[in-house]
Structure 1
């Protein structure tokens, strides 16, 4: 079940990202929308065709669904890798290739009955709004996306001005819009290098993700505080040890529980069970004792000097 949910989330996020890129850069009716295939695009196409062939073979092999799902995951991975590379370069990706990949994955999932036939790309957007308004997910997306895109672009311009002017309050409000306001409306904004990605997601999913994020952050803070306490305790124990003489170092704290008898210098001669300390163990204890003696003498000298 966990694997299925992970697969759905991964593919869904890929669909939403591709659809956002298509809205921004895919212009099939304009000469400006044509993007020349460079070496990176040709490599992506080769990987795409290879995976398509492997998926075809898996389907012919008694419909090997598991293998098909694994190949789809790889297809999503290479698509995301390509998008991230272009994002870092600051240039739009080849949307035609991405559209073909996303459409192909959608077609496969439609074949398995996971997506309704009328959807060209991605899963349908399900929300309580659809049920009460009677607006289908495709119509909802077509209706609201121009407004959401305009809002995202306006927010991005405001953020850039606020960064230049170092207006922290405005940046905080921009973050609040992204993290608190829009998720309540079923909208996710993702700040990327080139632009803000707009994703229409059902509100319940976003609320669940927000709770998981809060829980993860709380756990991170708790672990950080725990490590800080452990470091402080170790440091306190280390400082306390500086004032313990070598004659007493094996007779105090947890060390005292390990042994039952000591010689005149305070070096253990017998273990807690009465067994005599071995020669090898004796050498180690003597070495520790000598190190403690030097540190103790140094501490005492520094204390006397101050």
Structure 2
């Protein structure tokens, strides 16, 4: 959690520290008429609870009441099926306290030595914390969750809490999480090997908190692209601010007024989106629209060869940075943009400049040697290497500008390295797709030069060895083959129709191929 930049919780609960509260909680449910003791165990009386006018069982998954498989899954963790079925009054009653067998963990209780049921611990700990925070019923507004726990765990958790407190609604909203399928399961450390904590957090911000999300390459690609968009914007704003002078005009004209209004409108829409059930995807979209407005303003100024009013540009970047700090994308970083990483303060001027000056000295020596040797063609290559390989390792980006001296930007070296690797991987992926497309094109071109009858004779089944067709008519169209139930049998009407269509398609390709020749 710390590696992801997640803040520590205000309260940390451990079940083993809440055993007295769990026992008292269960006794209250019994006293309220919604649970009963049986053979040293205590079970929740589902029918009594569900039939009560104030309560309803299985709010999240109503069909769960009759789902024997899920009910058994919820109870099977505690004991064998035969044990608890014989002890319960009704099949869908579930354990609040389970009598411990020899060698199992146990605590003393009014019902004998035992341990808590799967669901009760969550109800007790959450209720205790929220009661301490001022809610007499111990309820909560938002409950994090997962679709795999809707029933029986979350439904049983709510039922227990409402049976104990008398509340008609213990939870107002349930959030979602990634599904734990084999296709997308990944540990936090595994995810951090592929992407930065900020990119992972961006991925979640780009999806509504209470909607399902599939973690994978496509979702992370979107997050990486979004991060790059904002990072480029922040770096461009910093470059504009560095180029500003004290005596530059600060007067607002029409373009400045338009951008200022766009910033204010963005603030209003972002506030409304956050008030509308924490709609972070809408906020991210609004901020990207604001980037477009700022870029349009800067382009207009550049086209007129006018210097921008830096205050209005800075205002937009500062507001975005404040939003990102609220979202946890930025800690106690700079006034504008993402922090560059590393420890804050501490490093002296010599320590900071030494690697940069070493790189500059090495670059200058190489340029001087190329000039002395009159290898002028190497000079541009050395400049590109200095820009693309040497400076990024020092956290410096150089962008060449046609007709100007270019722009330098500072960034986290690790982020630049990661970006370079991601760009290389994307380039390799596109190259592989291009090569595969070229190979497929060549295959189709070669295939087009095969006469139809030879093409049909060469067709194989999916195993790559068995001929698809075994006999052919005078016109070359297959009459028998291995596409039916029996090998080599005569094709039926539909199979003959399909074979004729294949033959006609290849004939068309072959005629076109011959015409080109």
TM-score normalised to structure 1 length: 0.66
Alignment of 1:1-306 (within 5 A): 1=200, 2-3=202-203, 4=205, 6=224, 9-24=228-243, 26-27=244-245, 29-30=246-247, 32-34=248-250, 37-38=253-254, 40-58=255-273, 61=275, 64=278, 66=280, 67-83=282-298, 92-110=307-325, 115=330, 119-127=334-342, 133=347, 168-193=377-402, 196-239=406-449, 241=450, 244=451, 247-254=453-460, 257-270=467-480, 272=482, 273=484, 274-278=490-494, 281=498, 284=501, 287=504
Provide Cα deviations, 1:208-241, integer angstroms capped at 9, x if missing partner: 11222222222232332222222233333333x1
1:98 offset after TM fit, Å? 0.9
Task: Say if 1:127 and 1:203, in contact at 8 Å, map to a contact too.
Answer: no
Judged with a 3 Å threshold, the aligned counterparts in structure 2 of structure 1 residues 277 and 271 are, in CA distance, closer, same or farther, namely: farther
Judged with a 3 Å threshold, the aligned counterparts in structure 2 of structure 1 residues 100 and 270 are, in CA distance, closer, same or farther, namely: same
Judged with a 3 Å threshold, the aligned counterparts in structure 2 of structure 1 residues 69 and 235 are, in CA distance, closer, same or farther, namely: closer
1:188 offset after TM fit, Å? 1.0
Give the secondary-structure state (helix, strand or coil) at the position aligned to 1:124: coil
What stretches of structure 1 of length at least 5 have no aligned partner?
A: 159-166
Q: Using the alignment, how far apart are the partners of 1:119 and 1:262 within structure 2?
A: 77
Task: Say if 2:395 and 2:412, in contact at 8 Å, map to a contact too.
Answer: yes
Give the secondary-structure state (helix, strand or coil) at the position aligned to 1:250: helix
Kindly indicate which of the two structures has a greater share of residues assigned to helix. 1
What is the aligned-residue RMSD (CA, Å)? Answer: 4.3
Give the secondary-structure state (helix, strand or coil) at the position aligned to 2:339: coil
Once structures 1 and 2 are overlaid, which stretch shifts more, 190-199 or 87-96? Answer: 87-96
Q: Using the alignment, how far apart are the partners of 1:298 and 1:106 within structure 2?
A: 64
Give the secondary-structure state (helix, strand or coil) at the position aligned to 1:127: coil
Provide Cα deviations, 1:43-81, integer angstroms capped at 9, x if missing partner: 32332221122234456x389472544433332343244
Once structures 1 and 2 are overlaid, which stretch shifts more, 174-183 or 267-276? Answer: 267-276
Give the secondary-structure state (helix, strand or coil) at the position aligned to 1:269: strand
Judged with a 3 Å threshold, the aligned counterparts in structure 2 of structure 1 residues 74 and 295 are, in CA distance, closer, same or farther, namely: closer
Provide Cα deviations, 1:239-270, integer angstroms capped at 9, x if missing partner: 3x1xx4x5544323449934343222322234
Task: Mark the structure with the bigger radius of gyration.
Answer: 2
Give the secondary-structure state (helix, strand or coil) at the position aligned to 2:457: coil
Runs of 4+ in 1 over 6 A off after TM superposition: 292-299
What stretches of structure 2 of length at least 5 have no aligned partner?
A: 1-199, 206-222, 368-375, 485-489
1:9 offset after TM fit, Å? 4.7
Q: Using the alignment, how far apart are the partners of 1:191 and 1:126 within structure 2?
A: 25
Task: Say if 1:87 and 1:192, in contact at 8 Å, map to a contact too.
Answer: no
Task: Say if 1:115 and 1:124, in contact at 8 Å, map to a contact too.
Answer: yes
1:180 offset after TM fit, Å? 0.7
Judged with a 3 Å threshold, the aligned counterparts in structure 2 of structure 1 residues 267 and 65 are, in CA distance, closer, same or farther, namely: closer
Ranked by relative contact order (alpha carbons within 8 Å, sequence separation 6 or more), the top structure is 1
Provide Cα deviations, 1:133-176, integer angstroms capped at 9, x if missing partner: 167xxxx8xx99xx99xx9xxx9xx9xxxxxxxx6432222211
Judged with a 3 Å threshold, the aligned counterparts in structure 2 of structure 1 residues 63 and 120 are, in CA distance, closer, same or farther, namely: farther
TM-score normalised to structure 2 length: 0.42
1:187 offset after TM fit, Å? 0.5
Q: Using the alignment, how far apart are the partners of 2:414 and 2:426 within structure 1?
A: 18
